[in-house]
Amino acid sequence: MTVRSAPDFEVRSKADNSPVTEADEAADAIIGAGLRAAFPDIPAVTEEDASSHVGGHARFFLVDPLDGTRDFVGGRTDFTVNIALIEDGVPVLGIVHAPAKGRLFRTLPSGPVQEEVDADGVPVPGTERPIACRAPDNSALDVVASKSHRDQATDDFIARFPVRDFKAAGSSLKFCLVAAGEADFYPRLGRTMEWDTAAGHAVLRAAGGTVLDFATHAPLAYGKPGYENPHFLALSEGVDLSPARACA
């Protein structure tokens, strides 16, 4: 947030043409140091540290220090900080913080919560409220999709479903909107990496939702070679996937 409030900051392009800023790198350094100090025996795979992209871990952290960099650069508020713990391919714990929106979602042993934050984006102890996916109305679904990466294929897919309302959101917030019962369904027909999705997936999983491989409808797993995801469907339990199966 300090970088964002500056009158100007550097934006560079990575090898895949995605943007990176000093905020990405500073957050990565802070989170990486914190995880190494607290959990020295658990490796962390982070987006901004290519040397960490080594597979074969049964238990590891996945970190995206700034998801939604395009929103960040564009002055919008849909960017998040994401940390997840993966065990045997499953995101078992996760935290998603949207500092510009004042929203923080995390998993607890009792389930997922949304925690309020103060004006500086700092979590306020004791303000946790439980969240859970809602039961969907399959005749009138609320769908959320990407602001920055929505394309015609996604629109065509969504058009197969009876949609009551459509929300556009950035970063991993889309998972959290489904987890908090503010949407029913989030389809992603585009390229993502595991660090983009793991923390939001953990929150959604704890809230009673699921994330499925678009083609096979098998649960989305982590620790894949190269850490690249297939297209996927994130949804609350009970969403009728018949239209999805028809075009998979």
104 DSSP β-pair partners:
97, 115
pLDDT, mean of each 10-residue run, the chain (248 residues)? 86 78 92 97 93 93 94 90 98 94 90 82 80 96 84 89 92 95 95 96 97 96 96 96 70
Q: Give the integer Cα–Cα distance in Å for 50 and 181.
A: 35
Is the domain of 16 the same as that of 112?
yes
Task: Tell me how crowded residue 32 is: count the other CB atoms within 10 A of its CB.
Answer: 18
Q: How many domains does the chain have?
A: 2
Is the domain of 117 the same as that of 146?
no
Q: 108 vs 35, 90, 147, 203, 221, CA distance in Å?
A: 18, 16, 29, 9, 21
Residue 25 phi, psi dihedral angles, 5° rounding: -70, -40
Residue 156's domain is classified under what CATH number?
Answer: 3.40.190.80
Is the domain of 95 the same as that of 171?
no
Show Cβ contacts of residue 137 under 8 Å, excluding neighbours closer than 6 positions. 164, 184
Q: Give the integer Cα–Cα distance in Å for 202 and 152.
A: 28
Q: What is the pLDDT of residue 121?
A: 67
Is the domain of 22 the same as that of 72?
yes
Q: Give the integer Cα–Cα distance in Å for 216 and 189.
A: 14
Is the domain of 47 the same as that of 122?
yes
Q: What is the pLDDT of residue 88?
A: 97
Task: Tell me how crowded residue 80 is: count the other CB atoms within 10 A of its CB.
Answer: 30
Domain of 33?
2-130
Is the domain of 38 the same as that of 147?
no
Residue 104's domain is classified under what CATH number?
Answer: 3.30.540.10
- Sort 104 into a burial class: Cβ within 10 Å, 0-12 / 13-18 / 19+: buried
